[in-house]
Amino acid sequence: MPSLVLDTHSMIWFLNQSPRLSSTAQQAIQSTIDNGHPAYVSAISVAEVIYLVEKRRLLRSQLDDFVATLRREDSGFVVVPFDLAIAEALSRIPRDIVPDMPDRIIAATALYLKLPLVTYDAKISAAQLPIIW
């Protein structure tokens, strides 16, 4: 599997080995990493995890694990900053289909990188991006 982009939940579920992550998604992520290709994660996902910890929907330890994994050079994960090019790609993700801004940024990241997105989110899937689930 070549490179791909993970949405926030997919990354969390992958790290936690959650059964909520589909076997197809699990295999795609693992194959990407095992074959030495980067698995990209938008920087907005870090902000989203912080927000979920603040809302008590995730544990602080999950945030710590998330960030520690992204910091490890050998993890296979690469953080993609939210920059001007990705901000401009937002206009190609219809707000009426994907109204949540973090989701739009993640989708725009995949669109800009021309890579499939690992997501279970039906709204993002409706945006006509290559999806792995």
Query: Burial of 13 by CB count in 10 Å (0-12 exposed, 13-18 middle, 19+ buried)?
Result: buried
When pLDDT is averaged across residues 53-75 and rounded to a whole number, the result is: 97
By percentage, how much of the chain surpasses pLDDT 70? Answer: 99
Task: Identify whether the C-beta of residue 103 lies closer than 8 Å to the C-beta of residue 6.
Answer: no
Distance CA 13, CA 52 (A): 14
Query: pTM value?
Result: 0.94
C-alpha dihedral sign at 113, 79, 1, 74: positive
Cα–Cα distance measured from residue 73 to residue 77, given in angstroms and rounded to the nearest whole number: 8
Tens digits of residue pLDDT in 41-53: 999 999 999 999 9
Q: What pLDDT band is residue 125 in, cutting at 50, 70 and 90?
A: confident
Sorted by sequence, the CB contacts under 8 Å of residue 92 that are 6+ apart come out as 108, 111
**Is the distance from CB of 81 to CB of 117 less than 8 angstroms?**
no
Q: Where are the alpha helices (DSSP H) in 1-133?
A: 8-15, 23-34, 43-54, 60-71, 84-89, 101-113, 122-125
Name all domains of the chain by residue range, CATH numbers in brackets. Answer: 4-127 (3.40.50.1010)
Instruction: Identify the pLDDT of residue 22.
Output: 98
Check pLDDT > 80 for residue 83.
yes
pLDDT value, residue 88: 97
How far is it, in rounded angstroms, from Cα 92 to Cα 82?
A: 15
pLDDT of residue 103: 96
